[in-house]
Amino acid sequence: MGENRHWRKIDQTLCSFVMSKKIINNYYEELISMCKFEHYPFEKPLHNIYKKELCISPIPSLSVHFTNVNSIYGLSPNVDWKKLWEENES
């Protein structure tokens, strides 16, 4: 919340998410299925839950998924990563 944070509705996440106990209880079997069965993509049960439940993400993001350059998941364009790196270099 606040003047420096905005939110957007999303329908996909990787496996880094926060969920209420109520949502976990309501979709327990779907969540457990991620460990019992192979899905493509792996997070498909989450995506199906987000079709029924509101999922929001902050802008700019509070997390980042680092991966190789050939992946469809890249670095967020909303963050100056070079500046952040330089500010925290020790």
* Tens-place pLDDT, residues 20-29: 999 999 999 9
CA–chain centroid gap for 62, Å, is 10
- Cβ atoms of 78 and 57 within 8 Å: the answer is no
Residue 28 to residue 26: CA distance in whole angstroms: 6
Q: How does the average pLDDT of the chain come out, rounded?
A: 82
**Domain layout of the chain by residue ranges:** 6-63
At 63-74, the pLDDT tens digits run 666 666 656 666
